[in-house]
Structure 1
Amino acid sequence: MAKKRDSLGARLNRGEIAYDFIGNRKLWYGLSILITITAIVALAVRGLNMGIEFQGGAVFTTPKSEVSVSQAQEYAEEASGHDAVVQKLGSGALRIQVGGLDTAKSDQVRSELAKDLGVEETKIAAELVGPSWGEQIATKAWTGLAVFMILVVIYLAIAFEWRMAVAALIALIHDLTITVGIYTLVGFEVTVGTVIGLLTILGYSLYDTVVVFDSLKEQTKDITKQSRYTYSELANRSINGTLVRSINTTVVALLPVAGLLFIGGGVLGAGMLNDISLSLFVGLAAGAYSSIFIATPLVADLKEREPAIKAHTKRVLAKRAAAAAKGESLEDGDADSDVHRDAFDEDEDRTAVVGPRGRRGRASEQRG
């Protein structure tokens, strides 16, 4: 009976196969730069669709109605003279947002909407929102984001090193930029829920990055005491070693968020779920991508600039060239034995210097 072939995930986890993420880092950098430029251009051209909480205005919630979303939007814009955003709720009710309305104008629009929709005016709930409240929320969000970034950099610099802190910060900015760009392209409203989602994804993004960094820290401990792997190669082994874990945790986290986004917001019509679920969905996916394709390759680039790591890389490449000239090969499975062999060679060197004296000392002890 043929032996059952192991799954791709199992082989990745055991290190039997690996993909050269670090070697192809220029491709990932180029792709990320392209996506980032697209997001920035879209933001500059189209801008964000700011919700009523940030621009001020009124929110009208009607009872269940047979009027279509497009027709209700037309009624609201005719009554107010401003652009309106209409969402169909799961119960069949309508949520109509109109910006730039004061109290008097809000009452007038409410009355006209009741006539157009054929419902009693008292059954239309109206909520007036001032723009100052949104400004306070935005200010607090920016403050919280800045404090979070500073604490992240300090923590990673202490727990790991400053190069990893810089790489993680760049990856976080990368994730935020992509998420904001998607909001611009899709046209979803930016509400308080969006801000909460953006702040939430920072933790998820950082989690995957720290997992890879922790593996990288262990892999590169005493790296100069061995002459088989360069820093970039060990970084690549760290990514491949944690790849299955990163994929599994990301998929598990994305599934419930996808339920909120596509079922709750799309099928059931709970439009307010889109605000937070889209930012979570895009942010989780971007965070998993950046931890593998951006953060760790950046650390490898920064470390390879160090004089000690440069010298180590030259030593590894020289050893390989010498082995290739002799027709020898270095097997990956001998990595640990190579470290031990290097340490043994160092011990032999020390013994060659002090060994005879030590033997005379032991001989004299025996005579004594």
Structure 2
Amino acid sequence: MSRLGSIGARLYRGEVGYDFVGKRMIWYGISILITITAIVGLMVQGLNMGIEFKGGAVFTTPKNTAVSVTQAQEDVQEASGHVPIVQKLGEGELRIQVSGLDTAQAEKVRQQLSTEWNIPAKDIAGELVGPSWGEQIANKAWTGLGVFMILVVIYLAIAFEWRMALAALIALIHDLTITVGIYALVGFEVTPGTVIGLLTILGYSLYDTVVVFDGLKEGAKDITKQTRYTYSEIANRSLNGTLVRSINTTVVALLPVAGLLFIGGGFLGAGMLNDISLSLFVGLAAGAYSSIFIATPLVADLKERDPQMKALKKRVLAKRAAAAAKGKTEGSEGDSDEPHDEVPEDAATAGAVVGQRRQESRGGRGKRR
């Protein structure tokens, strides 16, 4: 078995673990800081909406055009008065997007580019794009997002409970806010592909969260009939039990998306791949983070407010305190033939990193003569 597989097995059995739930205030603080940064970037810089949402003109030059991307940007900006987006296509073609042009302005720009680049005007294909199509896509995306959120809350409330549904909804809003904020800070163009990417990450964001919730639901069954663990400790054990699985699925999903973003869009210059790949990359990473550090700790916070869970926590802590006091009393009596009762390992490690559990070895007691 690999080292990672061995760690995963030990996490699943509860032999090792990390107190994610106990340190939840740290994760909340980090998430709030990132979210505020994303919102400020969105408010100050705004989104770089694509031509599909603003309207404008799209020009395509013929094959083997002897004009560089930089030169084309300068010439088009001088001719139109707007900052263009220039992409180099296969076989030397250039695709030029200029926002805010009407029919007369687009024709004027095409004639000027034809003169400067010594290309017949008829060979420079021009197309006007109206903003109404992009607005329709945006409106339908908002409608789909709203319906999706409502259905998710209803399903999770029925399959699990309302606290888990609320935590999952907050995690989803957290992921979307961060992704949109990163788009604003980076300045990538928002296109219909971006909208598709944003809607796609919702499913990925929920996947790990639902897996942890399912384990938590199973582990918390008949929780009030025992006095060994509090609800937060059971939530933490469930989270550790699925930790390696969450990491594996996230890494496997991120690798091809990273290839599209950094190799296809960055190294090879296929800018159109950036539209969907950035939203997927940021959304997948944010979804994995929120399922581990936000959703489950938030459920534990909400659940610990329940009167039954408060009473359970008091019983668990009282039992541990009694066991600790009994162990100290018996330890002060010196050596004895009777074995000492030990405080449960989980009591000593409830708020920190859990170490290797000790296996009690009870040898046969010799007969006295």
TM-score with structure 2 length normalisation? 0.86
Q: Deviations over 1:58-107 (max 9, x none)?
A: 11222344433232111111111222122334554322111111122212
CA contact (8 A) 1:90 1:269 kept: no
Deviates more, 1:109-118 or 1:259-268: 109-118
Separation in structure 1 between the aligned mates of residue 92 and residue 31 of structure 2, nearest angstrom: 41
Structure showing the higher helix proportion among its residues: 1
Shift of the 64–188 alpha-carbon distance from structure 1 to 2, 3 Å rule, reads farther
Amino acid at match of 1:330: P
Q: Which runs of 5+ in 1 are unaligned?
A: 334-368
Report how far residue 168 of structure 1 moved. 0.4
1:39·1:182 contact (CA, 8 Å) conserved in 2?
yes
Match of 1:124 in 2: 124
Find the aligned partners of 1:70 and 1:90 in 2 and give their Cα distance.
17
Pairing of 1:308-323 with structure 2 (within 5 A): 308-323=308-323
- 1:80-119 correspondence to structure 2 within 5 Å: 80-89=80-89, 91-119=91-119
Give the match for residue 358 of structure 1. Answer: none
Distance 1:306 1:125 in 2: 66
Structure 1 Cα separation of the partners of residues 132 and 291 of structure 2: 37
1:338 match = none
Structure 1 residues 332 and 30 mapped into 2: Cα distance closer, same or farther (>3 Å)? closer
Report 1:203-352 matches (<5 A). 203-327=203-327, 328-332=342-346
- Compared CA separation, residues 90 and 24, structure 1 to 2 (3 A): farther
- Give 1:201's aligned residue: 201
Moved over 4 A (4+): 4-7
Correspondence for 2:51? 52
**Aligned Cα RMSD in Å?**
1.8
Percent identity of paired positions between Structure 1 and Structure 2: 80
1:181 — aligned with what?
A: 181
Which protein, 1 or 2, shows the higher relative CO under an 8 Å CA cutoff with sep ≥ 6?
A: 2
Helix, strand or coil: the match of 2:19?
A: coil
Number of residue pairs matched?
A: 330
Match of 1:19 in 2: 18
Contact 2:8 2:241 in 1 (8 A): no
Q: C-alpha displacement at 1:113, in angstroms? A: 2.0
Q: Which residue of 2 aligns with 1:365?
A: none
Structure 2 residue ranges without an equivalent (≥5): 328-341, 348-369
Give the TM-score, by structure 1 length.
Answer: 0.86
Given that 1:13 and 1:244 are in contact with CA atoms closer than 8 Å, whether structure 2 keeps it comes out as no
Task: Give, in whole Å, the separation in 1 of the partners of 2:111 and 2:78.
Answer: 13
Equivalent residue number for residue 349 of structure 1:
none
Letter of the 1:162 partner, please give it: W
Tell me the distance in 2 between the aligned counterparts of 1:13 and 1:299: 20
Residue 89 of structure 1 contacts residue 271 of structure 1 at CA under 8 Å; is this kept in 2?
Answer: no
How far apart are 1:131 and its partner, in Å? Answer: 1.0
Instruction: After superposition, give the CA deviation of every residue in 1:105-134 in whole Å (9 maximum; x if it has no partner).
Output: 212212222333343333333221101111
